[in-house]
Amino acid sequence: MKRNSLSVENKIVQLSGAVKQPKLGFYSSLNQTHTHTVHLDWGSLPHHVVLRIFQYLALLDRARASSVCRRWNEVFHIPDLWRKFEFELNQSATSYLKSTHPDLIQQIIKKHSAHLQYVSFKVDSSVESAEAACGILSQLVNCSIQTLGLISTAKPSFMNVSENFPQLPTGILCVADHCQGLRGLALNYYILTDELLLALSSDTHVNLEHLRIDVVSENPGQIKFHAIKKHSWDALIKHSPSVNVVMYFFLCEEEFEMFFKEETPVTHLYFGCSVSKVVLGRIGLNCPRLTELVVCASGLQPLDNELICVAEHCTNLTALGLSECEVSCSAFVEFVRLCGRRLTQLSIMEEVLIPDEDYSLDEIHTEVSKYLGRVWFPDVMPLW
C-alpha cells in the first residue's frame, strides 16, 4: 500500500510540475520583455527619427528636448532644422506679440545664419522694434536667404535706417544687393521703392518667383501713398518674367488715388476693405497679367461694366471671388461668357447677384454652367 501511495504521490508531483512549467515559461517571457524595455535607450534612436520628431516641435520645446542627451543635442543643431525661422520683435508694453529672446537671436546668428533660407520678421509698429530687425538683417545679408518676409507697420524705420546702421547704407536695398539668391519677398508697401525693384532686377540676382505686397493704412484717410514708376515694374518683369506679384489691399476708397494709373504687373489682387468702381476700371485697363481677383467689399453701386472690362482685357484671369458687393445677373453671365472655360475657380456669394429682366437666381446657374463646361452654383452662407 505504501508503494502505491508513493506512486500516486509521485504522479501528483509530476503532474503539478507539468502544470506549473508553462507558468514558469510565461513569467520568464515577461521577464525577458521587461528586461528589453528597461534597457531601451531613447538616446540611441537614429538621427533621422529624432529629426523628424523635432520638426513637429515648437522652438522652445525643441530646445528643452535637446538637453535630454548628447545625441538629441546634436540633432538640435542639424542645419535642416534651421532653414526657416521667424523673428518676433516688439516692445512688451505696447504689443501683443511674443518677442524672440535676444540670447536666442544671437545664437541663431552665430551658429545657424549660414543655414537660414526662409526668414520672416514679425515686427510691431514701434520704431525700436523695426530698427532691431534691421540690425539682425545687417548680420544676415551675406547668407543664403531664399525667402524674406517683413511684416511691419512701422513706416520710417525700415526705409531710413542708414543713420543708425551704417552697414545698411541704403536700408532694405542692401538685402536685395547681397542676398542674390532671394526668390521670395513679402513686405509692406511702405518699404517698396523703385530702387528696390531695380536692385531685384540686377543681372547678378536670381529670378524672383514671388513678391507679396501688403497695402495697409495705419491712419485711414490721413496717408498719401507713393507711386511706383512703370519702368521699375518693367525692369522686374524683364528680369523675372514668371514672378507672381500678389497685392493685398486694406484701404478706404479715397486712398486708392496713386494705384493702377499705369500698367502694373500684378497677378493676384485681394481687396478686403473697400474698392471703388473707378479703381476696378483701372485694373481692367492696366493689369494685363492678372490671374486672380478677389473683392470682399465695395461700394453700393453694381460693378457690371468694371467686371466686363476685366474680362475683356485681363486675358490671363482664371479665378474670381466676389462677396459683399453687387453685380447684375446679366453682367455676370456676360463676364463668364467672355472668360469661358479658363475660369477654373469661380466663388460668388449668392447675395452678390442681383436678378434682372434676363435672369433670375434660379436660372443663372444653368447659363453659367454652359459657358464653364461644368456644373456651377453660387455660394450660399450657412444659416446655423
Q: Which cell numbers hold the place of 146?
A: 531664399
The one-character DSSP state at 301 is: S
pLDDT (tens digit, 0 to 9) for every residue of the chain, 384 residues total? 444 444 444 444 444 444 444 444 544 444 554 444 445 566 677 878 888 888 888 777 888 888 888 888 888 888 778 877 777 777 666 555 577 777 777 777 777 777 776 777 777 666 677 677 777 777 776 666 777 776 654 444 444 443 444 443 345 666 666 666 778 888 888 888 898 899 889 888 888 899 999 888 766 666 678 899 999 999 999 999 999 999 999 888 888 888 999 999 999 999 988 888 889 999 999 999 999 999 987 766 889 999 999 999 999 999 999 998 999 999 999 999 999 999 999 999 999 999 999 999 889 999 999 999 999 999 987 665
Question: Which pLDDT does position 331 carry in this prediction?
Answer: 95
Question: Which pLDDT does position 239 carry in this prediction?
Answer: 94
Sign of CA dihedral 95, 101, 105, 108: negative
Cα–Cα distance measured from residue 384 to residue 376, given in angstroms and rounded to the nearest whole number: 23
Residue 280 phi, psi dihedral angles, 5° rounding? -65, -35
Q: Which cell numbers hold the place of 154?
A: 512701422
Alpha helices in the chain (DSSP H): 2-38, 47-54, 59-65, 70-76, 102-107, 127-138, 155-159, 173-178, 194-200, 230-239, 277-286, 304-313, 329-339, 361-372
Question: Which pLDDT does position 93 carry in this prediction?
Answer: 61
Question: Which pLDDT does position 173 carry in this prediction?
Answer: 67
Strand partners, 246: 212, 268
Q: Are 134 and 168 in contact (CB under 8 A)?
A: yes
DSSP 90-115: --TTT--SPPPPHHHHHHIIIIITTT
Question: Which pLDDT does position 283 carry in this prediction?
Answer: 94
Burial of 333 (0-12, 13-18, 19+ CB in 10 A): buried
How far is it between the farthest Cα atoms of the chain?
Answer: 122
Write out pLDDT tens, residues 84-102: 777 777 766 655 557 777 7
The one-character DSSP state at 379 is: B
Cα–Cα distance measured from residue 366 to residue 145, given in angstroms and rounded to the nearest whole number: 50
